[in-house]
Copies of this chain bind each other. A is one copy, B any other.
Amino acid sequence: MWGRRAGARICRPVWESRRAMGTAGARRGLLGDKVALVTASTEGIGFAVARRLAQDGAHVVLSSRKQSNVDQAVAELQAQNLSVSGTVCHVGIAEDRDRLVATALERHGGIDILVSNAAVNPFFGSTLDASEDVWNKILQINVTATALLVGLVAPHMEKRGGGSIVLVSSIAGFSPFPALGPYSVSKTALLGLTKALAPELGARNIRINCLAPGIVQTKFSSALWKDESVKEKMMENLRVQRLGVPSDCAGIVSFLCSPDASYISGETVVVGGGAPSRL
């Protein structure tokens, strides 16, 4: 049973309502036997990405901050016959990052793919009011920890002859979300981090790209869409016909990690349903 869970299909994409069940099944082997680390992957975008990488043939190591969430996500995906295991990882803690990498090496002997999705947003309000602690925490988790994790996995990818990395930024990195200033700024920084790392990683046969999702309906973003009138307004401003769902972000990540993307590096792909982003 390789197909998507029925539940995930309730919210049908507008533009492709005829989306075939189980396209993922047909693609099995695309990432055959690659080992993939995905952070913040027990729900939302990270979970959808982890599932897709596994459906496409990768051995996936899931992670997030709570053991119970890890256990549940692993169980759900293993029940779909996917090669998935997990470990607790708070990306802001050095020991946790080390353990995440060690786990992948022990279980699978190497690392080929990293999807860095972990981000915090402890603040909602005027950017002018954000405290030093808020700024430090957001930049440390969303930017510094991302850079450090890349630095940690790169040598292991190099040993395997190369690899592929995807950082998860946000459309807010191009055009900040109101009331989410520090978060948005951290996502802008990731656009630059992708650019800064591309040549250095390229010399090691590792590609790095970036995903900038629009407003995707997850627990994380619920403040932006739970109220129906806020949601309507948002959709009008964004000029989109529906908000995104986590699985909208899964295919492009798998693509960017596949051989088909071998000449794409240093780039950010916006998945925003046509919302204004940039040229």
- When chains A and B are docked, how far (Å) is the Cα of A278 from the Cα of B14? 27
- When chains A and B are docked, how far (Å) is the Cα of A243 from the Cα of B9? 39
Name the contact of A132 in the complex, choosing from B11, B15, B94, B258 (C-beta under 8 A). B94
In the complex, what residue of chain B is closest to A130 when comparing beta carbons?
A: B147
Q: Are B15 and A206 in contact (CB under 8 A)?
A: yes
| Contact A15-B192, Cβ < 8 Å, known A148-B135, A279-B279 | no
- When chains A and B are docked, how far (Å) is the Cα of A103 from the Cα of B261? 32
> What residues of B have a CB within 8 angstroms of the CB of A202 in the complex?
15, 239-241, 273-274
| Contact A200-B140, Cβ < 8 Å, known A26-B29, A252-B260 | no
Type the 1/0 row for A188-202, where 1 means its CB is closer than 8 Å to any CB of B: 110111011111111
- When chains A and B are docked, how far (Å) is the Cα of A178 from the Cα of B126? 31
Q: Are A132 and B148 in contact (CB under 8 A)?
A: yes
| Contact A192-B214, Cβ < 8 Å, known A151-B128, A269-B264 | no
| Contact A13-B187, Cβ < 8 Å, known A148-B132, A276-B276 | no
Type the 1/0 row for A96-128, where 1 means its CB is closer than 8 Å to any CB of B: 000000000000000000000000000000111
- When chains A and B are docked, how far (Å) is the Cα of A202 from the Cα of B272? 12
In the complex, what residue of chain B is closest to A22 when comparing beta carbons?
A: B29
A143 at the interface (CB under 8 A from B): yes
> What residues of B have a CB within 8 angstroms of the CB of A273 in the complex?
202, 263-265
> What residues of B have a CB within 8 angstroms of the CB of A19 in the complex?
259, 262
> What residues of B have a CB within 8 angstroms of the CB of A32 in the complex?
9, 20
Q: Are A266 and B274 in contact (CB under 8 A)?
A: yes
Chain A contributes a number of interface residues (CB within 8 A of B) equal to 104
- When chains A and B are docked, how far (Å) is the Cα of A139 from the Cα of B144? 9
In the complex, what residue of chain B is closest to A191 when comparing beta carbons?
A: B279
Q: Are B139 and A143 in contact (CB under 8 A)?
A: yes
> What residues of B have a CB within 8 angstroms of the CB of A163 in the complex?
14
| Contact A192-B203, Cβ < 8 Å, known A32-B20, A143-B139, A278-B279 | no
Q: How far is the CB of A25 from chain B (nearest CB, A)?
A: 10
> What residues of B have a CB within 8 angstroms of the CB of A12 in the complex?
161-162, 259
In the complex, what residue of chain B is closest to A19 when comparing beta carbons?
A: B259
* Extra 17 A-B pairs, beta carbons < 8 Å, given A135-B144, A174-B278, A175-B276: A12-B161, A12-B162, A15-B162, A15-B207, A19-B262, A26-B26, A127-B197, A136-B144, A139-B139, A139-B144, A176-B192, A182-B196, A185-B189, A248-B264, A254-B260, A255-B260, A263-B272
Closest 4 pairs between A and B when the two form their complex, measured CB to CB: A188-B192, A251-B260, A248-B263, A16-B262
